[in-house]
Amino acid sequence: MDANLRRPVLSEAVRKHIQRYILEKKLKPGDSLPPEAQLAADLGVGRSSIREAMKSLQSLGIVRVQRGEGFFVRKWNLDPVLETLSYGICFNPAAFRELLQIRIWLESATIGEVVERITPDDIAQLDAIMQAWKARANSNAGFADLDEQFHNVLYQSLENDTFVSLLRVFWRAFETVNDDLGGDVSLGIEYEAHYAIFEAIKRRDPVLAREKLLASFMNLTDRLHGAPGEPE
């Protein structure tokens, strides 16, 4: 490597080299990478450049650094996106409206397949969630956790982990803006809206399920009106 490269550029080059190494060696999650000293010697760079590159890879969710044991390939996930998005929405709350619209598009486009593929075990899980939700009716407890569980169970039937991870992006962003939206709305309103979805799914009625799903989003879209960064 060119010794005259500036340090940030050098660190970037080292990072890209390590990424290529992982791909070329077909390393899997949990596999170890060469020690810091070996990487430095192989690349002809200082160990500080290796450490900086590893920090970057760690922030991207590619590498896991285990103190005293070394560097390991991490299972791919959307955690870095979750963190960046939640932070970014603090500066641009209006972006949450666009994110919600994406979620509505995704869920409404796939609910029909959910109705076809959902299993009796999935329905039993949804039933348990609805019972827990109803039990909170006389308390001041929020329902965001139950709402998230409900939608996760719906879409786990699609057997697409990336899709479920994309839904998690929304929930983490929701945590960022929920206080600005006035906190949780009525438990009863949200319970009834989700119970209607549940009933439509049990009836295996994709048209009705989509209708009730879209109706359930109305409470949140209404709350977005007048939120910080949103037009009146």
- Residues 153-207: pLDDT tens digits? 999 999 998 888 888 888 877 776 665 555 445 566 788 999 999 999 999 999 9
Give the angle subtended at the CA of 171 by the CAs of 170 and 176, to the nearest 5°: 95
Q: What contacts 63, CB < 8 A, 6 or more positions away?
A: 18, 33, 54, 57, 71, 72, 73, 74
Looking at residue 42, which CATH number applies to its domain? 1.10.10.10
Structural domain span for residue 163? 79-224
The structural domain count of the chain equals 2
Within a domain: 2: no
> What is the per-residue pLDDT across 108-142, written as a single tens digit (0 to 9) for each?
999 999 999 999 999 999 999 999 988 886 665 66
Looking at residue 96, which CATH number applies to its domain? 1.20.120.530
Which amino acid is present at 90?
Answer: C
- Tell if the pTM clears 0.85, that is, is over it: no
